[in-house]
Structure 1
Amino acid sequence: MAGGSAIRGSRVGAGPLGEDERGESAPRQMVQYFCARGHVTSPSFAMGDEGEAPEIPLEWDCPKCGFPAGLDADNPPEPIRNEPFKTHLAYVKERRSEEEGEALLAEALDVLRQRRMAIADS
């Protein structure tokens, strides 16, 4: 068995094979998507068998800014609004009014004072 290279017949810097070796490329359809910042993205989609139109997504992520891009240039989709992280206190304030918070705090302080008095008396 003779030694050899797994990439026999190739050399460093060799370019890609031509269509003769690869076969013909599938027909493609270019589609333009428009984002809210005015960028235009043009991905291409392979046509189906016998030239039928490919299934084209309604939205595509803009590679420049990451915003969603749509098919309508005059009305691009709005960017997704990320809500900032809420603290535990923010969630509590959504559930309780200021007066309820004051009442709960007063009750908790009374319990704490009673415990301290019980410990001091012992």
Structure 2
Amino acid sequence: MVTGGQAIRGTRVGSGPVGEAERGVDAEGVDVDYHCHNRHTTTIRFSVEAGGEVPETWDCVRCGLPAGEDADNPPEPPSITPYKTHLDYVKERRDDAQGETLLEEALQKLREQRGTA
């Protein structure tokens, strides 16, 4: 609608009446609250018509930890293993005595290459 060269505010081309008749009726659902270890609460709505099972855990939308339905006993956070260096992996395969032997062999080769053996 144009009045005096300007559109009437709050309307757009193709907009129609707003109401339940236009949008349809909301499907039946059940709200489930999930609680994480950091005491965050996430509410998820599941459709009753879909007939699926409600999952026991859900990832918290704020911190990403697993969340469960029991607020007093939320799931424990997963244990995070620290980053292992190359040396850590080598130490898993060999003991100190083997490491000393390999080091001595490598040093001997270097000395021979340099002519200082």
**Equivalent-residue separation in structure 2 for 1:96 and 1:57 (angstroms):** 45
Partner of 1:55: 53
1:22 aligns with 2:23: yes
How many correspondences in the alignment?
A: 105
Counterpart of 1:78 in 2: which secondary structure? coil
- TM-score, length basis structure 1: 0.73
RMSD of equivalent CA atoms: 2.3
Q: Deviations over 1:62-93 (max 9, x none)?
A: 12222110122232111122222211111111
State the one-letter code of the partner of 1:17: V
- TM-score, length basis structure 2: 0.76
Shift of 1:17: 3.2
Partner of 2:88: 90
Counterpart of 1:42 in 2: which secondary structure? strand
Q: What 5-or-longer segments of structure 1 have no aligned partner?
A: 1-6
Partner of 2:43: 42
Q: Which structure: greater helix fraction? A: 1
- Percent of aligned pairs with the same residue? 51
Residues 85, 17 of structure 1: alpha-carbon distance in 2 compared, 3 angstrom cutoff:
farther
Residues 71, 19 of structure 1: alpha-carbon distance in 2 compared, 3 angstrom cutoff:
same
